[in-house]
Chains A and B, each alone.
Chain A
Amino acid sequence: MSAEVEEMLKHFHSMKNVAGIVVIDNDGIPIKSTLEHTLSVHYAATMQTLLEKARQVVLDLDATNELSFLRMRTLYHEIMLCPKADYFIVVIQNPSE
């Protein structure tokens, strides 16, 4: 699993405008991050809660459907959450103009 995680980090890192990447496991602990530790833990906690809520919304509307991706656009950046089997990835991107 960690080889997969490393490869993904490299892949996203090479894209322009990426402000940060956090890989968070199912316990809400950031296992890999390009941000500093306190901020990573903060993102891990808030994003995990939100991801769970979003998953439940999707399941509630249609039990056969599943959440595959979540994107939040804020004033200053775009946050992308990709849930996988054992972990989820948060990518924070600065929108280009």
Chain B
Amino acid sequence: MSAEIEEILKRYGNYPNVAGIIIVDAFAIPIKTTMEYTLTVHYAALAHNLLMKGSKMTQNLDASNELTALRLRTLNHEVMIVPEENFFIIVVQKPGQ
């Protein structure tokens, strides 16, 4: 699993507008991050919570459906949360021009 994570970090780290990448395990504990620690933990907790809610909402609407990605566009950046099997990835991106 950690080889997979390294590969993900490398892949996303090469994009020009990526401000940060956080890999969070199933218990909302950040296992890898490119941002500073307090902010990472903050993002991890909030994103985990939102992902759980989003997942529940999707299944509420259609029991066979599943959430595969969540994207939040804000004024200053875009946050993408992608759940994988044993972990989930948060990517914070500055919107390009």
Residues of A at the B interface (CB closer than 8 Å) are 42-43, 46-47, 49-50, 53-54, 57-58, 60-62, 64-76
Assuming the A-B contacts A70-B71, A72-B54, are A65 and B66 also in contact, with contact meaning beta carbons closer than 8 angstroms in the complex? no
| Interface positions of B (Cβ within 8 A of A) | 42-43, 46-47, 49-50, 53-54, 57-58, 60-62, 64-76
Cβ–Cβ contact A58 & B74, under 8 A: yes
- B72→A70 contact, CB < 8 A: yes
Judge whether B50 and A54 touch: CB under 8 Å: yes
Asked if A68 meets B57 with Cβ closer than 8 Å, knowing A57-B47, A61-B42, A74-B66, the reply is no
Query: Chain B residues near A58 (CB, 8 Å)?
Result: 72, 74
**Nearest-CB residue, chain A, relative to B62:** A76
